Each structure stands twice: as structure tokens, then as C-alpha cells.
Amino acid sequence: MAENILSLCNTALKYGRIIQDIGSFPILGQTFLVLEAIVAVVENADHNVRTCYVFRDRIVIAQHTLEKYKKEDLENNVALIAYAKVLQDIEKFVRKITDAKGFKKYWKAMTVKEDAESLIGRFDVAIQDLGLNTLASMRNDISKELAIISDDIQKMQEFMETVQTGIVGIDGKLDKVTELVVSLQNSIKTGEVEQSILNSVSLEAKDIKQDTAGFADSAIASDLKTVLWHHQPAFQKDMGYVTDAELKEVEKDVAILKQLQPCKNIITLYGVFKIDTRLHLLMEHAQYGYLYDHMQVNHSNMDWSLRYSIALGIVQGVCFMHEVGLLHHDLRAQNILLGEHYTPKITNFHSARPETEVSRPLRSGVNKIRWTPQERAKNPRLRFNKRADVYNVGYLLWEIASGKIPFENDKEFDAIRKIMEGLRDPIPKDTPEKYAEIIKKAWAPDPISRPTIIEIYMQLVEANKELQGGNKKKKGVGVDELSDLIDEDGLIDLGDNTGPSIEDALKAHSSASYDIAYKIFQEIDTPKAHYYCGLYNYRGLGNLEVNSEAANEHFRKAADGGNPDGQLRYGAALMKGDGTHRDVKLGFDYLCKAADNGSSAAQFNVGQIYWSGRINEIGVDRDAGKPYLIQAAKAGHPHAKKLCIENGIDWE
């Protein structure tokens, strides 16, 4: 059916262009213009895609049927005018529901489903008045269409409640960032860029200190040099020789990309400067260097908790880019930096452009043919779109799973041939099933079949929850229950109970052979093992004495490795000053990480802290706290449910 619709769509669009060229049938031509606009919107939609398909498919069939009627008869038909008006209203509706900002207003008005039903009804009346009897079969599918629309609305609500909380900086800042990006893009197009904007990205070479003696740098990034700027480490990237005209273009690009700073998963660009005639880009320093280089050395030590954390962070960054209308064009492990706590940061925006423009390399990049989406391998002139970025995300998730590059043992020519034939690298056997499914969907041969980046994000969140849930086997009181308890200062009270075992635990731990278990945990050296080492020191299990400082050091390592239980424990310790220095804001950051990684206890605590405002350093922010409380309540957290009920928060 999908192939038939696409074939009919292409035929209708060609016919429409002929009508428009003739120019004698303005109303009929207008209907085809609307179809063309809707098709374009659907191709790049991130939200409510299936709802858009409902309307697109109806219009395609109707327009195809119109081709069989005499143009002269149609043009003078009052019914055609009414039909054209319905199509215009459908176009407006589709644009609203595919845009997060527009949908937010729509969602609050609670009229999305009603408006969709109204448009379907008006459309049916219009085609009947036109005498398009061949479309009668459509009316048999209305219940199915309404079910699709309802499901889309539910998913979009989950996005508004869950995704915008997870993408740090996106809620409350997204609209402002989008406006700034669009404003800059328009200024660049008209050539009216304010000099102050260009000056803001133009740096002086004398202000960058090249001598970093005494600064210990563990980052693995061969093409980046660590320098000092304002007494802080930064990365300097040599961009090569540029002319003055090229420098102006680069400054414009950097000015746009600097607007993405609110997102923690996108590298912060400080500006550009020249040494002689060579251009250098100054950016945020990242503690662990490139993801690709890090995996070459440490991939076998990266457990799935850390891999999920990195994957989720990358997808958050791409979500942010797509929401503000930018595409990356070159997503792969070699273009991801790892910052503090292994936070992934998207970088190397050599080809990043607004989605409405063709890509324009900022400088010559390395060969990226192995990551080429299948449709562009077949037709390099095809415009790069969000679905192409999603393909790259799919292969990036595969890189995280395998630690390799695509078609590693093939020459470039053989790699591109395999891509064109629809072949993909085998997914490692130890890859969690749901994670593997996300990869397969993302690199699907047909771009339309690929999920949106928002859908990938939500699927990753759910898959990660399952992974963490599978790692927990309650023994006594679990971590989720311990961290419920808030003391009088609003800080987390972890109590005196032992935490849960994970991965069904090691047999030694399960049988209370703590000395043997602790020795094994020490030898494993993974985030999960560090969490257990911390727990053993915290509780004084086996022959160990209670040692809060040693416990917190292990919790810190577990937290920085992406383990949500470690993030919860270490965050609580920092906020209370329990066995470590007191740092409320840093501790709260760790709690937020645990919440974003699916810990319902952390979600409740973050939500409660925001909601109550009982911690001065954090303050009151109920808009920020509400989605966390809803997530925790949906996960069955009893205290979250109670707080939601008491405050009239609908979480069901």
C-alpha cells in the first residue's frame, strides 16, 4: 500500500506541476501546491508522523482522481473552492502538529483530536460534493485513522512530559534557541549580519596560551590540541589555510552553532582565531577525548550501562539540533567527544546546515563514505534530511555496541557497494535485544520507514529502564525505596539499609560470601562493580569497616561510568556532605543524571526538590519538577504518586 501511495503521489505531483505551468487553472493548481507542501512537511516531520500520513494519503488519492476530470469543469466548480480551503486548513494543521513549539500550544488547548476529526469530516464532505465516488472506500478506514491519530497524540504527550525533561536545556530554552538560530540564518541570507555577532566569535591568538605545562591531560584526540583560555583548558583545532572571505563564512557558521550551547550534549564553541594564515577553532575541553579513540582502548571495559548512557546523550544532542532546525550530516564516533562523567558531546560540524539548505563543508573532512545513508549512496544529489541523520545515528549506536567502524575489513569501493545493496554490519551477539532493534530500525533502507530521532530517544529510554530493571534483584530494602526518604532539610536520606544486588548478583554475594564477592568486584573494575564496592564500604559488609570516604570514591566512579545507582548514591552524599565535601549543585547534577537514566527514586527526588523549593541552592521550579514527578509516578513510585495526588497532578 505504501509503495502504491508513493507512486500515486509522484504522479499527482508531476501532473500538478503541469497544471501550474499552464497557469489557466489557479484553483486546481493551488490544490496541488498544497499537496506538495504537505509532502515536504511529512518528509521532515519529527512528531505525529502517522497522523500526517493519514491526511497525505487521503489527499494523494483525491488529487490522483482529479486528474481524470476535465480541468475546465473543475475550475468553475464551487465545490473545488471548498475543497481547496479544506486542503489549506489541513496544511496548517499538519505544520502545527509536526512542530514541538506549535504542538505545545495545541496540546494545552486539548483540541488536537477534535480538530483532526473535524478536518477528516470536512474533507469527506468536500470529496462527496466533487463527486469523487472512487474514494468511498476511505470512509471504511475512519476508525483505523482515528486510532492512529489518538496513538500519535499519546506519544506526543509522552514527548512533552518525558523527552523535553531528558534533553537538558530543551524545555524553556528551545524556543529561544530556535528563534536565535532562525534570526541568524535570515541575517546571513540577506547579508545583514551585525558586526557585533561576528566579533563575538572572533578571538585573539594572544589570549590563547599554548603552553600547558603542569596541566594533566588524559584526552585522546589526535587532531585537537589542549590549550589554556582564561586559565581554563580548551581544545584548539587547526582548520587549515583560509582566505578572508572564507573566514567570514566560517565566522557565520560558528555564530549559529554557538547558539546550541544550552545543550550539554553539543560541544560549546568559543570562537575562531588565526595564526598567520591558518584558521583555528577554539572549543570546550573534553576530558576523555573522542569516543572512537576511547573505544579503541577501553571498549571491553565499557559495560552496557555506560554504553546506554553515551548513546542516550548523543541522541539527546541530535534531538536538540533537529528541534532547532539543524542537521549534522556526519554523525559517527569520530565526531563525538567525551566530557566529564563520560558525557558525550557532538562536535565536528563541518557539514552541519539548516535542514532547508544543502550541506556546505566548513572545511575538507576525512572520508566518511562508510557512513553514507543508502539513499544517498544511490543518489549523491539527493538532499540530506533528518532521516539521513537518523541513519547515521543508527550506525553510531552500532559503533558503540561493536567498538568498530562500518565495514571495517572492506575497501571504500566495496563498502559503498554493500551499502547500496542494503547490506549492514552484523550486530554483536551481546547487544541487548531492544538496543539492536533500535539500530535496525534506524538504518532501514527506506528513509520513510526509519523512526524519528524523538522516537529513538524514547525507545532508548525504555530499553535502558529494562536493562537497569533486569540488573536489580531486591534483597531487603532496595535503592529505590531507600532514596524515597527526604529529611527535614529536603535532602535525601538514604537510611541505614543495604542496597540491592544487580544482575541477579554474583553467587558469592547472593550467598552472603561477602569477602569473596568484594574481592571479585574489585577485580572487575566496571561501573557496576564500583557501585558494589561503594556499597560494601558504606555498610561495612564482610570484614570491611564502614568507610564513607572509600564508599564515595567508588560511588563516584560508578556514577561517572553511567551507573544510575552510583549516580543516586554519590549525588546524595554530595548534597548532604556525607563522607565528602558538601556540594549541593554538583550533587543535584548527579541526581538529574540518575533520573535521566531511568531511576524512579532519582526522578522523585529531583521532582520533589524542584517542587518544594526547600533547597536554596536549587530553588523552586515547578515546571521543571512536574515532569520528573509524573515519570516517577508512572513507574509506580509510591511517594511520587502521593505527591501527584496531593497537588492535583495528572500522571495516569
At residue 552, the pLDDT reads 92
Distant-in-sequence, close-in-space partners of 188: CB < 8 Å, separation ≥ 6: 252, 256
Q: Give the Cα-Cα-Cα angle 434, 438, 443 (nearest 5 degrees).
A: 150
504: left (phi over 0), alpha (psi -120 to 50) or beta: left
DSSP string, 178-246: HHHHHHHHHHHHHT---HHHHHHHB--GGGEE---TT-------TTEEEEEETTEEEEEEEEEE--HHH
Element (H, E) at 486: none
Average pLDDT on 158-176 reads 53
Residue carrying C-alpha cell 587532531: 223
Question: 472-646 adopts what CATH topology?
Answer: 1.25.40
Q: How many CB atoms lie within 10 A of CB 469?
A: 11
Q: Where are the domains of the chain?
A: 2-166, 300-468, 472-646
Q: Which long-range contacts (CB under 8 A, 24 or more apart) does 492-496 make?
A: 492/571, 492/572, 492/575, 492/576, 492/591, 492/605, 494/569, 494/572
Cα 438 from chain centroid?
13
Same fold, 300-468 and 472-646: no
Distant-in-sequence, close-in-space partners of 408: CB < 8 Å, separation ≥ 6: 425
Q: Bigger pLDDT: 181 or 75?
A: 181
Q: Which long-range contacts (CB under 8 A, 24 or more apart) does 515-521 make?
A: 515/542, 515/543, 517/542, 518/542, 518/544
Distant-in-sequence, close-in-space partners of 619: CB < 8 Å, separation ≥ 6: 613
Cα 452 from chain centroid?
10
**What does the alpha-carbon distance between residue 127 and residue 79 come to, in Å, rounded to a whole number?**
8
Q: Bigger pLDDT: 352 or 639?
A: 639
- 229 DSSP β-pair partners: 208, 232
Closest CA to 353 of 377, 382, 386, 380: 386
For 106-124, how does the pLDDT look when each residue is reduced to its tens digit (9 = 90+)? 554 457 778 888 888 888 8
Check whether 509 has a pLDDT greater than 60: no
Indicate the residue type of 225: K
Q: Do 439 and 394 touch, CB atoms closer than 8 A?
A: yes
For 118-146, how does the pLDDT look when each residue is reduced to its tens digit (9 = 90+)? 888 888 888 888 777 555 555 556 777 77
For residue 339 the three cell numbers come to: 566530557
Q: Do 205 and 274 touch, CB atoms closer than 8 A?
A: yes
For residue 87, give Cα distances in angstroms to 50, 111, 116, 326, 593. 18, 19, 13, 28, 45
Q: With both helix axes pointing from N to C terminus, report the angle between 584-596 and 548-560 in degrees, rounded to the nearest 10.
A: 50
The band of 367, judged by pLDDT with boundaries at 50, 70 and 90, is: low
Check whether 268 has a pLDDT greater than 50: yes
Question: Which residue intervals of 471-583 are DSSP H helices?
Answer: 479-482, 507-510, 514-524, 527-539, 548-560, 564-576
Residue carrying C-alpha cell 496513538: 151
What DSSP character marks residue 290? B
Q: Bigger pLDDT: 436 or 277?
A: 436
Three-state SS for 416? helix
- Cβ neighbourhood burial of 477 (10 Å; 0-12, 13-18, 19+): middle
Question: Which residue intervals of 354-431 are DSSP H helices?
Answer: 374-378, 386-402, 412-420
Check whether 415 has a pLDDT greater than 80: yes
- 271 DSSP β-pair partners: 282
Query: Which of 60-64, 180-184, 392-396, 574-578 is least confident?
Result: 180-184
**What does the alpha-carbon distance between residue 525 and residue 540 come to, in Å, rounded to a whole number?**
20
What DSSP character marks residue 504? T
The count of residues in the chain is: 652
Q: Do 343 and 265 touch, CB atoms closer than 8 A?
A: yes
For residue 283 the three cell numbers come to: 572549543
Check whether 486 has a pLDDT greater than 60: no
CATH of the domain spanning 300-468, picked from 3.30.420.40, 2.40.340.10, 1.10.510.10, 2.20.25.90: 1.10.510.10
For 440-458, how does the pLDDT look when each residue is reduced to its tens digit (9 = 90+)? 999 999 888 899 888 898 8
Q: Bigger pLDDT: 17 or 490?
A: 17
For residue 468, give Cα distances in angstroms to 86, 291, 549. 49, 23, 26
Q: Do 93 and 37 touch, CB atoms closer than 8 A?
A: no
What Rg, from alpha-carbon coordinates, does the chain have?
27
Ranges 184-193, 323-332, 425-434, most confident: 425-434
Q: Do 98 and 46 touch, CB atoms closer than 8 A?
A: yes
Closest CA to 194 of 282, 186, 204, 350: 186
At residue 162, the pLDDT reads 54
